[in-house]
Structures are given as structure tokens and as C-alpha cells.
């Protein structure tokens, strides 16, 4: 029995997330799925598990063929497809038994009460079967991260009736694990594969794959760009395929707006900053300069911005603006710093309030004269901002939640700039934003920088960094490693450097 | 408003340039119409019910008289202020369940001061201080200790109840209250009860605070998205604390007014205010400024409920009917707010 994905295509509006993807899983193989951020890995997994509906293509298992556009979670489950998602799949404050029962239910005794004896027996059997070093009554939060991960795997696999088959999809299972734990997890995955389970293994940690994966498929821009056999899986080869930028593109993408760093007065200076996932970051931003921060998810990019903003306390190191240290103010953001957060809905938008109220959120006091907020003056100013930034809305009084994502994002950038900050921090500023809005936001930021603002941008979109930034600092596992500028500033270089540790560890 | 917001931008994009402006403005005025209807439906319903009770044979004898208007309107003054006390924390997305008990405590405190023969102003200040202290305790427990506001204010209200029972022995304070203050609760100027005028002045002050000061704007931002409020630099803990203190002060003043209205301070009068105040505060999101809790919406909601309860009362309905009306209004108010929010959220 093999599992085939053929010609699967998925569009989100004008964006093609998956473009005729073909993948074949053989029994007993560990098939690595690689690609950069936004290459379509997650979308592919979602279509296979029936969470997202593909536009066209087919799935087949053995002789059974089904159109991908009709896949459902129930059908995926029936076919033995089990997926362990990246985060949030275990309950720390519950016991191993309770975690294992989540999703499949508890064995019941008379009157519908839970038969705890049977439940414990069942979980003891599972723990033995999956060779997990834990007791049925232990709380998940007491266990090592790798053991927790194993419990999660056991949970998704426990009800596969046929233990000699089935498909296990692991999405970044090692993201939070140490090197030794990674080996332990891999040993377990190899055991599943030996029993005949088809494993699809998604990871950013390319250094883990040689000697472990039996095949690798690389995605880029929603297309399969190549497949490697076990002997061909090497770190450098994978990076080349993932980045895959042609020579011409590299030349044309090279940044044209190089600023001579020696002329700049350094305004924002970070020295050996440590805090949370950030383990030692040093960088400086000059007046009018746009500096990018590249690195993998989890490298500490967002924490870095939060420390500069003043909402996360640095453990050590310093942040200075114009020679003055930005002192910790018990979590209150610094007045001179503004942030466009990564998660617009959770961290930036006041959805039930009006567009006006959202734009003036940080500058309400400006129209407060003689004891009154002058609503008319406020609206007039906001109308100007709306037209300057090309924000599309029914009126300045429209509720923020009625605006499209791109227009919300423009409004939030406008809000930050209205406060006349000295430092503008951008975390994934154009994530989920359409092409036109993205270009408009870039232009707004460039114009603001031209007036002397310091801009620090975090983005997984490496082309965006190349387009916007004068320099890009690479963050690897919480440390700043390299600074790239001028003709070296290419998506390929950034990607290569972002995978930095793996290069060293191989 | 919601319709224009949804269809406006789409139409503008799909239509050719000259037609777009036209369609846009037509859509916009249509949207304004529906927004206006939404804003004044509850007021219209209140008037409709009033007309109904004025015409029905069972109530037409008493309902449309000046005396009845004064009775109903005067009877709502304390509730208006109590509702404002609920409204301020509610805008911050917090529940203050202690408003009723706080009101009761303040009425007992101020009545005691009056009965002791001290000047009226001292009694008013004593009531405000008592309300403010309760607010400070609520605010500190929520912001410093981090206990959920529902739990804090529920616990505090039970404790207050105990204190009041201990101090009064369960008896009302009726002796020695100054006539000057009691007349505030019973007299009218130009046919409008004085106590209602006082409540409306308080409502106007709170309206000013919420609509024309940055502080009010910040409270709405807190309620809309607290995490974003923190990231844009608002002092979220201070705002949270302050909303309980302002609510406490209002509850305290409501207690002082209650002494004037009732001519006495009954130890357990406060609890009867909590539920109607919440019902009115929730319903306020369905009137005047649909989609957000607001002052005049609260006043309209109170009028609506008062007209219904007053009319039923005259028609000879049992006292417990008011409980049904208020309870239903509370649930309907919340359901309506949820419905409006869902319709707006595109």
C-alpha cells in the first residue's frame, strides 16, 4: 500500500499556495518534507488531513482514489492518516492517562462513569507499546519535552486499527527539543517506520535529516522542486534546493539603496542583549536606516523586538537610543518606540472600535483641548491619513473589523507613525497582506525612514528583507551571527545563514 | 453603519470610477438609515409601550398622569446612577457584581452620618468615601493580586452584606434624617423629579468622561483588546484599577440618593439593584450607539424597563413580574449585543 498525492493545487485568492504537488509515500519510509517559510508545507499537510479543501488533484491509498477537493478530516482519519501538529497538542496539567484519552474518549463503566482502572490499564499498554518512560498518573508538565512529544504521538496513533500501516505526519516535532532528545525521538520514529507506518516528517532542522530520512521532497513557492534519495540528503544540497534562486534573480534583487554605514550616526544600539530565546544580540540602527532581522521561527526574533519596545525585560545587555539607555519601565513600552506586532488581531487591532479610534489609539491626547476631545478635528486628521496611506474603508467611522487585513495593517502602520517615534519596530509587517498593500506599506516605511526614523524589521519573507533593508542581521538560536549588506544581501544568503547552526553541527 | 461598512469598499472597487462615488454615497445613506433605526429602536419601543399603557382600559386611568410619570421617573434615578457604576467596569470588559451591596453600604453610612446630626455635605462625602473604598479594594484585588473580577466583587459584596448586617442589626435607619435631603427624593421642579435631574447630571458627567476625554477612549480600548492596549502603551493596570474606583464612587453616590428616595436606609436594599443595573448596562449596547456600552443607551434601557414594570404594576400584576421582566431583559440584552457584534463582524 502506498499513499499518493497527485497534482494537488490550492489557491488563496490570487496566491497559489500549492501548484500541482505530487508526493508518494511508501510503507516503512521516513519521508522528509522541506521548504522555506511560506513554501506550502503547512498547506499541503492541511489538505492531506482534510482541514483545508484543495482546488484540484487526487489522493490515493492503494487502489482507492479520491479527489482532493472532497477530502474531509473524517476520510483522512479512515485512511489511517494521523497528524501531530506543531504546538498545543498536549495538556500539561492533566495526567498521561487523561492526555491519551483526549480525542478518543475514556472507557466507560456502569452508568456512564469513567472506568479509571481500564483507562489506566489501556494507557499502561500504550506506554509499553510505544516504549515511553512515564507512568499513567504522571502529569504531562512533569515529563521531559521529548516524553511529552512521545505521549502526543502515542495519542494520535493509538486508534489505528492496523498497526502495520497508516500514515503519521509529524510537523516540526523537534522544534522544542535538545539534541539528545532529538535522537531519542528519531529512534522512536524509526521503530514506527520499521513496523510499516508511512512517516511524513516536516522540519526546518535540515541537519537532522541525513542518516535519518529515507527520502526528501523539497517545496518552493508551492511546487515540488526536487526529490532526494537517502544517500543524496545532505545539508548543503537541501539548502540549495530550498532557496533555489537563479543567478539573474539574485542580481536583480540586490538592493539598490545602499547607505554608506560610515556616514550614519548610530541611534539605536543593542549590546549583548539576552532575554528569553535571545542569547546574545548586538546590532545598531542608524538614523534613516532600515535594518532587517532574519532567522528561523524560534530564533528569538520577536523577543528581540519586545525587549526593544520595553515589554519584555532583558536579562542582561543594554539598549541605547541616542546614547541614552532605554530603561525597563515595568513592562510599559518606551515612548520613543512603536511596534507593528506580528499578530494583528491579538496584539494590535481594536476590532469593535472605529477606524478613527484605531488610528489615534496612541495619540488620543492630540485632539484634547480645553477639556474636550475634538471629534471633528480628529476625524479630519484621520481622513487625511486614510487618503495619504490609501486605506480603503467605508468611512473614517467604519468599524475596524469591517476592513480587510491589508487595510487594517496600513492603518496600524499609520497609527505607529502618527506617534512620531524615533524607532519603528516591524514584526512580519506584510504577513497575509496582498501584493498591492504590501508595496504600499513598504513605500510608507521607506518614506518615514527617509525622515530619520530608525526601522528594525523582522520578517520570514526574505525577499521582503532584501527589498526593504539597508542591512540585515542574521539571528541564529538567539545570537546575532552575521550582518549582510550591499550585493551580499540576497534571499539565498539570508536563508543559508539562517540555517547557520546546522551547517556547523554537521 | 454596518451595511455601508460591508458593501461600501466592495462596490467602490467593482464599479467604474464615476459610478462608484454615486453608488457609494447611496449605499452610505442607506447604511446611515439602518444605523439610525438600530440606534433608536429601543427608545421607540419604550414610547410604544407607554402609549399602549395609556390607551389600555386597565391602566389608562392612572398611567398617563403626571403623578405616575413622577413616580416612575423618580423611581429610576438611583438605578440610573447604579447602572453607570456597572457600566464603567463593563466597558473595560470587567464585571463589578458588588455595585448593589456597595450602594447599600453607602446608604447606611450616609444615613448614619445624617442621623448623627452632621451637615448634609459630610454625609454625602461619607457615602462617596465608603463607595470609593470598596472600589479601591476591588481594584487592588483584581490588579495586584490578580483574582478574577467576578470572584472578587462577588466575595466583596457578601462581606459588605455581613458588615451592614452587623452594624445595623438588620434594622433600617429611619430616624433623624434631615428633611432637606428627603425632599430631594420627593419634590419636583417643573414636574420633573429633582432626584431624576441629579441622576441625569451625573449621567451627563459620565458621558463627558467616556466620550470627550482620552480616559474614556482608553477604557473602550481596554475593553476591545487589552493586549493591544498594553502594547500601544496604555497603563492597563492603572486603568483597570481606576474603573473599579470610579464605579465604586458612583455606587456610593447612588447609595446617598437612595436615602433621599426611600426616606430610609434599609440594610438589604442594595442587592435589589444589581440585576436591573446589569440588565440596563447590557441593553445599552443596543441603543443610541449600537455595538458599544454607552450612557444614554443605558438611560433609554432603564426607561424601557421602567415603563413596562410601571404599567404592569398599575395593571395589577404581581410584584414578581418585575423579576421576570428584568431577568429576561438581562439575557435579551446580552443576546442582542452578541447578535449585533456578529452581524458587524464581516
Look at the alpha carbons of A371, B239, B219, A353 in this order and tell me if their dihedral is positive or negative.
Answer: positive
Query: Is A398's CB within 8 Å of B221's CB?
Result: no
Q: Considering only CB atoms, which chain A residues are within 8 Å of B9?
A: 392-394, 403-404, 407
d(CA A425, CA A463): 18
Instruction: Show the cell assigned to A178.
Output: 535538545
Instruction: Show the cell assigned to A468.
Output: 526593504
Closest CA to B83 of B284, B217, B244, B319: B284
pLDDT of residue A264: 58
Give me the residue from A361, A365, A368 closest to B221, CB to CB. Answer: A361
d(CA B113, CA B265): 11
Burial tier of B170 (Cβ tally within 10 Å: 0-12, 13-18, 19+): exposed
State the DSSP code for A94: S
Q: Is the reported ipTM for this assembly greater than 0.90?
A: no
Residue entry with cell 484519552: A101
Any domain includes B213: yes
Closest chain B residue to A365 measured between Cα atoms? Answer: B214
Any domain includes B111: yes
pLDDT of residue A208: 82
Q: Which residues in chain B (38-57) have CB-CB distances under 8 A to chain A?
A: none
Give the pTM.
0.75
Any domain includes B50: no
State the DSSP code for A265: P
d(CA B104, CA A343): 45
Q: Considering only CB atoms, which chain A residues are within 8 Å of B238?
A: none
Closest chain B residue to A356 measured between Cα atoms? Answer: B217
Query: Is B211's CB within 8 Å of A373's CB?
Result: yes
Closest CA to B283 of B48, B38, B42: B42
Any domain includes B310: yes
Look at the alpha carbons of A350, A355, A361, A365 in this order and tell me if their dihedral is positive or negative.
Answer: negative
Q: Considering only CB atoms, which chain A residues are within 8 Å of B292?
A: 352
Maximum average pLDDT range among A32-36, A357-361, A399-403, B41-45: A357-361
> Between helices B2-14 and B17-55, what is the axis angle to 10°?
160
Asked if A286 and A259 count as a contact pair (C-beta separation under 8 A), the reply is yes
pLDDT of residue A216: 93
Q: Which residues in chain B (217-256) have CB-CB distances under 8 A to chain A?
A: 217-218, 220-221, 224-225, 227-233, 235
Query: Is B228's CB within 8 Å of A402's CB?
Result: no
Mean pLDDT is lowest, of A72-86, A251-265, B180-194, for A251-265
State the DSSP code for A286: E
Long-range contacts of B294-297 (CB under 8 A, 24+ apart): B294/B207, B294/B210, B295/B84, B295/B87, B295/B203, B295/B206, B295/B207, B295/B210, B295/B211, B296/B203, B296/B207, B297/B42
pLDDT band, very low/low/confident/very high, at A162 (cuts 50, 70, 90)? low
Cβ-Cβ pairs closer than 8 A, A with B, add up to 106
pLDDT of residue B136: 97
Query: Is B233's CB within 8 Å of A362's CB?
Result: yes
Does residue A196 surpass a pLDDT of 50?
yes
Any domain includes B154: yes
Mean pLDDT of chain A: 84
Any domain includes B3: no
- CA angle A41/A47/A52 to nearest 5° reads 110
Give me the residue from B221, B341, B344 closest to A402, CB to CB. Answer: B344
d(CA A412, CA A444): 12
Query: Is B346's CB within 8 Å of A401's CB?
Result: yes
Closest CA to B150 of B233, B283, B274: B274
Residue A284, SS3 per DSSP: strand
Torsion of CA A170, A172, A178, A183, to 10 degrees: 40
First to last CA, chain B: 13
SS (H, E, C) chain B: CHHHHHHHHHHHHHCCHHHHHHHHHHHHHHHHHHHHHHHHHHHHHHHHHHHHHHHCCCCCCCCCCHHHHHHHHHHHHHHHHHHHHHHHHHHCCCCCCCHHHHHHHHHHHHHHHHHCCCCHHHHHHHHHHHHHHHHHHHHHHHHHHCCCHHHHHHHHHHHHHHHHHHHHCCCCECCCCCHHHHHHHHCEECCEEHHHHHHHHHHHHHHHHHHHCHHHHHHHHHHHCHHHHHHCCCCHHHHHHHHHHHHHHHHHHHHHHHHHHHCCECCCCCHHHHHHHHHHHHHHHHCCCCCCCCHHHHHHHHHHHHHHHHHHHHCCCCCHHHHHHHHHHHHHHHHHHHHHHHHHCC
Asked if B80 and B302 count as a contact pair (C-beta separation under 8 A), the reply is yes
Cα of B176 to nearest chain A Cα, Å: 41
pLDDT of residue A87: 60
Residue A163, SS3 per DSSP: coil
Tell me the HSE value of B314 on the side-chain side, using a 13 A CA sphere: 25
- Whether residue B112 lies within 8 A of chain A, CB to CB, comes out as no
Query: Is B31's CB within 8 Å of A394's CB?
Result: yes
Mean pLDDT is lowest, of A58-62, A490-494, B155-159, B213-217, for A490-494
Torsion of CA B190, B196, B198, B202, to 10 degrees: -140
Q: Considering only CB atoms, which chain A residues are within 8 Å of B218?
A: 364
What is the tally of structural domains in chain B? 1
As beta bridge partners, residue B278 has none
| List of domains in chain A | 3-247 (3.40.50.300), 251-336+422-505 (3.40.50.300), 354-420 (no CATH)
> What mean pLDDT is predicted for residues A479-498?
82
Domain span at residue B307 reads 56-344
Cα of B229 to nearest chain A Cα, Å: 8
pLDDT of residue A175: 67
Asked if B131 and B273 count as a contact pair (C-beta separation under 8 A), the reply is no
CATH of the domain at B185: 1.10.3470
Does residue A197 surpass a pLDDT of 50?
yes
For residue range A292-327, list pLDDT tens digits in order. 998 876 778 889 999 999 999 999 999 999 889 999
pLDDT of residue A365: 86
Give me the residue from B7, B13, B224 closest to A350, CB to CB. Answer: B224
Is the model more confident about A359 or about A230? Answer: A359
Does residue A502 surpass a pLDDT of 70?
no
Quick one: how far is CA A175 from the chain centroid?
A: 12
Instruction: Supply the Cα-derived Rg of chain A in whole angstroms.
Output: 25
Closest CA to A26 of A193, A224, A227, A206: A193
Any domain includes B67: yes
- Per-position pLDDT tens, chain B of length 346: 333 333 333 333 333 333 333 334 444 555 566 677 778 888 888 899 899 888 888 888 888 888 888 888 998 999 999 999 999 999 999 999 999 999 999 999 999 999 998 999 999 999 999 999 999 999 999 999 989 999 999 999 999 999 999 988 888 998 888 888 998 888 888 888 999 999 999 999 999 999 999 999 999 999 999 999 999 999 999 999 999 999 999 999 999 999 999 998 998 888 889 999 999 999 888 888 888 899 999 999 999 989 988 888 888 888 888 888 888 887 887 787 777 766 654 3
d(CA A71, CA A74): 8
pLDDT of residue B11: 34
d(CA A313, CA A33): 37
Look at the alpha carbons of A441, A443, A447, A453 in this order and tell me if their dihedral is positive or negative.
Answer: positive
Q: Considering only CB atoms, which chain A residues are within 8 Å of B229?
A: 350
**Which site among A305, A402, A405, A424 would you substitute to test the B interface, given the most B Cβ atoms closer than 10 Å to its Cβ?**
A402
Cα of B339 to nearest chain A Cα, Å: 13
Does residue A217 surpass a pLDDT of 50?
yes
Give me the residue from B8, B235, B346 closest to A332, CB to CB. Answer: B235
Any domain includes B266: yes
Closest chain A residue to B223 measured between Cα atoms? Answer: A350
d(CA B251, CA A101): 49
| Beta pairing, strands A278-286 & A266-275 | antiparallel
> What mean pLDDT is predicted for residues A140-157?
83
Task: Kindly give, in sequence order, each residue whose CB lies less than 8 Å from that of residue B118, ignoring residues fewer than 6 positions away.
Answer: none
Give me the residue from B9, B228, B231 closest to A394, CB to CB. Answer: B9
Cα of B332 to nearest chain A Cα, Å: 20
Q: Which residues of A touch B (CB under 8 A)?
A: 309, 311, 331-333, 335, 339, 341, 346-353, 357, 361-362, 364-365, 368, 371-373, 392-395, 397-399, 401-404, 407, 415
As beta bridge partners, residue A11 has A16
Dmax over CA atoms of chain B, in Å, equals: 78
Query: Is B9's CB within 8 Å of A404's CB?
Result: yes
Give me the residue from B9, B28, B225 closest to A349, CB to CB. Answer: B225
- Whether residue B167 lies within 8 A of chain A, CB to CB, comes out as no
Cα of A348 to nearest chain B Cα, Å: 5
Look at the alpha carbons of B88, B90, B94, B97 in this order and tell me if their dihedral is positive or negative.
Answer: positive
Q: Considering only CB atoms, which chain B residues are within 8 Å of A392?
A: 9, 12-13
Asked if B326 and B82 count as a contact pair (C-beta separation under 8 A), the reply is no
d(CA B115, CA A476): 74
Amino acid at each position: 500500500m502506498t499513499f499518493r498525492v497527485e497534482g494537488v493545487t490550492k489557491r488563496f485568492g490570487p496566491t497559489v499556495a500549492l501548484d500541482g504537488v505530487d508526493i508518494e509515500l511508501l510503507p516503512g519510509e521516513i519521508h522528509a518534507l522541506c521548504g522555506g517559510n511560506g513554501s506550502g508545507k503547512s498547506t499541503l499537510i492541511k489538505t492531506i488531513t482534510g482541514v483545508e479543501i484543495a482546488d484540484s488533484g487526487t489522493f490515493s491509498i492503494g487502489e482507492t482514489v479520491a479527489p482532493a477537493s472532497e477530502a474531509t478530516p473524517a476520510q483522512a482519519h479512515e485512511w489511517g492518516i494521523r497528524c501531530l501538529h506543531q504546538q498545543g497538542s498536549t495538556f500539561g496539567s492533566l495526567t498521561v492517562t487523561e492526555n491519551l484519552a483526549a480525542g478518543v474518549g475514556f472507557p466507560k463503566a456502569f452508568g456512564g462513569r469513567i472506568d479509571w482502572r481500564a483507562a489506566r490499564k489501556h494507557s499502561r499498554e500504550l506506554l509499553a507499546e510505544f516504549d515511553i518512560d512515564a507512568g499513567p498518573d504522571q502529569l504531562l508538565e512533569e515529563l521531559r519535552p521529548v516524553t511529552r512529544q512521545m505521549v502526543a504521538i502515542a495519542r494520535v496513533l493509538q486508534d489505528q486499527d492496523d498497526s502495520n500501516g497508516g500514515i503519521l505526519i509529524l510537523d516540526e516535532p523537534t522544534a522544542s527539543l535538545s539534541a539528545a532528545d532529538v535522537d531519542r525521538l528519531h529512534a522512536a520514529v524509526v521503530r514506527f517506520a520499521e513496523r510499516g507506518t508511512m512517516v511524513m516528517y516536516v522540519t526546518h532542522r535540515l541537519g537532522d535529516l541525513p542518516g535519518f530520512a529515507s527520502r526528501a521532497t523539497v517545496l518552493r513557492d508551492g511546487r515540488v522542486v526536487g526529490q532526494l534519495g537517502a544517500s543524496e540528503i545532505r545539508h548543503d544540497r537541501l539548502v540549495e534546493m530550498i532557496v533555489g534562486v537563479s543567478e539573474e534573480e539574485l542580481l536583480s534583487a540586490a538592493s539598490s539603496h545602499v547607505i554608506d554605514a560610515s556616514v550614519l550616526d548610530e541611534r539605536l544600539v543593542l549590546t549583548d542583549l539576552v532575554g528569553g530565546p535571545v542569547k546574545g544580540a548586538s546590532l545598531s540602527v542608524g538614523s534613516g536606516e532600515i535594518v532587517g532581522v532574519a532567522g528561523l521561527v524560534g530564533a528569538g526574533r520577536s523577543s528581540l523586538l519586545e525587549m526593544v519596545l520595553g515589554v519584555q525585560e532583558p536579562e542582561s545587555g543594554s539598549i541605547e537610543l541616542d546614547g541614552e539607555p532605554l530603561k525597563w519601565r515595568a513592562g510599559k513600552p518606551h515612548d520613543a518606540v512603536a511596534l507593528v506586532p506580528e499578530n494583528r488581531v491579538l496584539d494590535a487591532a481594536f476590532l469593535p472600535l472605529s477606524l478613527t479610534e484605531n488610528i489615534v489609539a496612541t495619540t488620543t491626547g492630540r485632539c484634547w483641548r480645553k477639556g474636550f476631545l475634538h471629534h471633528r478635528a480628529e476625524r479630519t486628521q484621520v481622513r487625511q491619513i486614510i487618503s495619504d496611506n490609501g486605506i480603503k474603508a467605508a468611512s473614517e467611522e467604519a468599524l475596524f473589523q469591517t476592513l480587510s487585513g491589508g487595510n487594517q495593517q496600513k492603518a496600524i502602520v499609520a497609527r505607529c507613525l502618527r506617534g512620531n517615534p524615533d524607532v519603528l519596530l516591524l514584526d512580519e509587517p506584510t504577513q497575509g497582506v496582498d501584493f498591492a498593500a504590501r508595496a504600499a506599506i513598504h513605500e510608507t516605511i521607506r518614506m518615514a525612514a527617509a525622515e530619520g526614523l530608525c526601522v528594525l524589521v523582522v520578517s520570514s519573507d526574505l525577499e521582503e528583507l532584501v527589498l526593504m533593508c539597508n542591512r540585515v542581521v542574521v539571528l541564529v538560536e538567539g545570537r546575532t551571527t552575521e550582518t549582510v549588506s550591499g550585493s551580499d544581501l540576497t534571499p539565498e544568503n539570508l536563508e543559508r545563514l539562517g540555517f547557520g547552526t546546522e551547517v556547523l553541527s554537521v | 453603519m454596518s451595511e455601508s461598512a460591508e458593501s461600501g469598499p466592495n462596490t467602490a472597487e467593482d464599479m467604474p470610477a464615476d459610478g462608484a462615488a454615486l453608488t457609494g454615497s447611496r449605499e452610505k445613506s442607506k447604511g446611515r438609515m439602518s444605523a439610525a433605526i438600530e440606534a433608536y429602536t429601543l427608545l421607540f419601543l419604550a414610547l410604544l409601550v407607554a402609549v399602549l399603557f395609556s390607551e389600555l382600559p386597565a391602566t389608562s386611568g392612572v398611567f398617563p398622569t403626571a403623578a405616575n410619570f413622577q413616580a416612575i421617573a423618580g423611581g429610576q434615578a438611583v438605578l440610573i446612577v447604579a447602572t453607570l457604576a456597572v457600566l464603567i467596569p463593563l466597558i473595560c470588559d470587567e464585571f463589578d457584581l458588588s455595585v448593589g451591596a456597595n450602594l447599600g453600604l453607602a446608604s447606611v453610612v450616609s444615613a448614619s452620618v445624617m442621623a448623627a446630626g452632621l451637615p448634609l455635605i459630610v454625609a454625602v462625602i461619607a457615602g462617596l468615601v465608603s463607595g470609593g473604598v470598596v472600589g479601591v479594594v476591588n481594584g487592588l484585588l483584581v490588579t495586584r493580586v490578580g483574582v478574577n473580577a467576578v470572584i472578587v466583587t462577588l466575595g466583596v459584596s457578601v462581606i459588605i452584606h455581613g458588615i451592614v448586617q452587623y452594624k445595623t442589626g438588620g434594622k433600617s435607619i429611619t430616624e433623624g434624617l434631615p428633611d432637606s435631603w428627603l425632599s430631594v427624593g420627593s419634590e419636583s421642579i417643573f414636574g420633573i423629579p429633582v432626584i431624576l435631574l441629579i441622576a441625569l447630571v451625573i449621567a451627563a458627567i459620565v458621558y463627558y468622561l467616556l466620550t470627550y476625554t482620552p480616559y474614556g477612549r482608553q477604557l473602550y480600548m481596554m475593553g476591545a483588546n487589552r493586549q493591544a492596549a498594553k502594547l500601544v502603551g496604555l497603563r492597563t493596570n492603572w486603568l483597570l484599577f481606576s474603573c473599579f474606583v470610579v464605579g465604586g464612587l458612583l455606587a456610593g453616590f447612588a447609595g446617598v440618593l437612595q436615602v433621599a428616595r426611600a426616606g430610609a436606609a434599609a440594610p438589604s436594599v442594595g442587592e435589589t439593584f444589581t440585576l436591573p443595573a446589569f440588565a440596563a448596562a447590557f441593553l445599552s449596547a443596543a441603543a443610541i450607539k449600537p455595538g458599544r456600552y454607552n450612557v444614554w443607551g443605558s438611560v433609554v434601557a432603564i426607561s424601557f424597563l421602567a415603563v413596562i414594570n410601571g404599567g404592569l404594576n398599575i395593571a395589577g400584576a404581581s410584584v414578581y413580574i418585575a423579576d421576570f421582566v428584568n431577568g429576561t431583559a438581562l439575557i435579551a440584552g446580552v443576546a442582542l449585543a452578541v447578535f449585533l457584534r456578529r452581524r458587524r463582524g464581516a
